[in-house]
Structure 1
Amino acid sequence: MFNNLPPLTRNIIIINIVVYIITNFFLYALNKPELYNMLSAYYPFSPFFKSWQIITSMFMHAPFADGSGLMHIFFNMFVLYNFSFLENILGGKRFLILYFLSGIGAYALFNAWEFVQVEMFARQLESLGFNIYDYFSGTNMQLKGSSQSIETQQTLISNIIKIISSPLLGASGAIFGVVSAFATIFPNARMQILFIPFPIKAKHFLIFSVIISIYLGYNGDDSGTAHFAHVGGALVGFILARIWRKHLNRFNPQ
């Protein structure tokens, strides 16, 4: 069954599995776990950020030691496997562009939202008489004010540090782009989704997924899921599919 997959999808799945095995087992056995951080994608203004991470992070998944790592990679690869037929429809070149541009779009939108939050926290600190940029440069690390003000400043600083030190990893942004492209090309196709007891039109599933992702991303949750990355990937997939749909004559784009 695996050998019947289109070549690009098959290779993407193989690379994800190989990278997961190497980073989670071989490198930990060699006591070199730092590669996980080198390949995951950090906030672009973080000292941990490297340009290649935007691409390599698409092949990284939650660590095995976290307990959710296997489910993370399994679910992503399972979804990609089920939408592999889109490679045959778009052709290998378009599918590759779709996959990687969706992943890049996921990184861009996620970090645009992170930037908004960092600036919001920085402005709040500034109103309390503290400059976060002086803090990171080492110019001024002294908190001043009442005990309540200092506690607030510490919380805001912790929020900023969490953003710049927490990596983005996973193929879900790229895969959301693939699913979004399918829903844009075949809006009325009926999909059978896990945990939904009835078929749902692709366009309705896409709209519902994007709305939920925006809501959860804006309000925040403790799952560690990069909801705005999903939205970014879906947006790129939608745009590309709208462009390409006019030139694909092998199906009825109803």
Structure 2
Amino acid sequence: MQGFGLHISRGRTKILRGLDFTVETGRITGLLGPSGSGKTTLMRAIVGAQKVSEGSLRVLGRPAGERTLRHAIGYMAQAPGVYTDISVEANVRYFAAVYGLGRADAAAAIAAVGLEPFARRRTADLSGGQLSRVSLACALVSHPKLLVLDEPTVGLDPVLRADLWERFAAMAQAGTTLLVSSHVMEEASHCSSLLLLRNGQLLARLTPAELAERGGSTDLEQAFLSIIRTAESGPEPDPAAKAKET
């Protein structure tokens, strides 16, 4: 996946400003940044739900939003996109049917997120963490080449978060490309590479180790804050240029 000079605006408001980035195939890429930095807008553009104002965005070698990409991308939004008046199994089977798939594919997706004991339970009776897993199963059922997850671990307890990241790692090892957004910096350590967003701009593309080194801290949240402060303060003045001025 590649973006070049990517701009997205809503009316007169600029949401994303000139993003250039690459997401590696078969890896977990973390899209990190505070709320309002443009993470969700970028993800919506990748899955074809948001119009690009300027620049280019190619997904799996094709322009974002192209009809042929629909079955190749799985998307899990922040809000659970499931029907609460039917069972877990019925939800996942519905999404399987949309892709022309059957009961076995739905069962495999439910098993992949550890919800087999709750397959017949109505989703309205599930916990918040279990409901998030139903949404994930619906995104997985089409066997996507690219899985886009918008803050999938928000509100989950540490045990559930750890379990999901283990599952994400297994998917990447099997060849799935994952783009996972979060505003929790500690989750950066689970990713192969990171895209750091701030106010609609891409501050850096680096690995967790490079983030720690560049930010001068093994605490990734402090490292990210250091990068933000550096970016906001601007480049150091050139002593030679200042001498010429005087």
Q: Which structure dedicates a bigger proportion of its chain to strand?
A: 2
TM-score (norm 2): 0.22
TM-score normalized with structure 1 length: 0.22
